[in-house]
Chains A and B, each alone.
Chain A
Amino acid sequence: QKEVEQDPGPLSVPEGAIVSLNCTYSNSAFQYFMWYRQYSRKGPELLMYTYSSGNKEDGRFTAQVDKSSKYISLFIRDSQPSDSATYLCATANTGGFKTIFGAGTRLFVKA
């Protein structure tokens, strides 16, 4: 079993839709949770990070962490074609130095 599981997709939605991206993780010791966006042939770009459980909002993006079910989510409101990319969830241990990534979900937003 992988430490972080993420559906690779692809996920295709029309412009303006609400997108829900999800990951599960196995180690209850994980304390930090991140979402990265990666465009083709580029390095990952940090979107948001949260510590422990709860919600965090930044513009059109909302990250949710439910530690009781080991489930993390990213919601994108009013999706745009420019949001088309691979979205990577990631977790880190208490020390934070070892970041473990999911496989990434490919998202396509159609104009």
Chain B
Amino acid sequence: ETGVTQSPTHLIKTRGQQVTLRCSSQSGHNTVSWYQQALGQGPQFIFQYYREEENGRGNFPPRFSGLQFPNYSSELNVNALELDDSALYLCASSFDRRNTEAFFGQGTRLTVV
């Protein structure tokens, strides 16, 4: 098991609602990246936070936003949920921005109905 923990593990929301997902990074890691993984697909990069600043973003709309806290834990917020947002949301922490040796959490399974 990695030291990356995500909460909650499962979540059901209604279309149009807002959701906040949380991630605690591994000790010593200052970088957190978030991914969306649809069923049968590889993870898609949402964004990365390095020392509390957004360091890069994938092709996701602004209703996907995030935060990183001084202890390097992180939140992913999604507003105005759509049915297509149903997926496994993964966070990964690493000791630098290169993300080449990233450790993933177990994910949060979000279902939008």
Q: Chain A: residues with CB nearer than 8 A to chain B?
A: 4, 6, 8, 32, 34, 36, 41-46, 49, 51, 88, 90, 92, 95-104
With A95-B98, A97-B48, A97-B97 already in contact, the answer to whether A42 and B42 are too (CB < 8 A) is no
A31, chain B: closest CB distance, angstroms: 9
By the criterion CB–CB under 8 Å, are A101 and B42 in contact? yes
B43, chain A: closest CB distance, angstroms: 5
With A97-B48, A103-B41 already in contact, the answer to whether A44 and B90 are too (CB < 8 A) is yes
Give 28 pairs: A residue, B residue, CB < 8 Å, sorted on A: A8-B40, A43-B90, A43-B92, A44-B43, A44-B90, A44-B104, A45-B2, A45-B104, A51-B100, A92-B98, A92-B99, A95-B97, A96-B97, A96-B98, A96-B100, A98-B45, A98-B56, A98-B58, A98-B99, A99-B102, A101-B35, A101-B42, A101-B44, A102-B42, A103-B41, A104-B40, A104-B41, A104-B42
By the criterion CB–CB under 8 Å, are B99 and A97 in contact? yes
B105 within 8 A of partner (CB): yes
By the criterion CB–CB under 8 Å, are B104 and A43 in contact? yes
Tally the A-B contacts, defined by beta carbons under 8 Å: 73
With A32-B100, A49-B100 already in contact, the answer to whether A100 and B45 are too (CB < 8 A) is yes
- List the B residue with the shortest CB-CB distance to A90: B42
Q: Chain B: residues with CB nearer than 8 A to chain A?
A: 2, 4, 33, 35, 40-45, 48, 50, 55-56, 58, 90, 92, 97-107
CA distance A46 to B2 in the complex (A): 11
Interface SS of chain B: helix, strand, loop or mixed?
Answer: loop
By the criterion CB–CB under 8 Å, are A46 and B102 in contact? yes
Residue in A90, A95, A103 whose CB lies within 8 Å of B40: A103
Inter-chain pairs besides A6-B42, A92-B100, 8 sampled, C-beta below 8 Å: A43-B107, A44-B90, A90-B42, A92-B98, A97-B33, A97-B56, A98-B58, A103-B41
Closest 5 pairs between A and B when the two form their complex, measured CB to CB: A96-B98, A101-B42, A43-B104, A97-B56, A49-B100
By the criterion CB–CB under 8 Å, are A97 and B55 in contact? yes
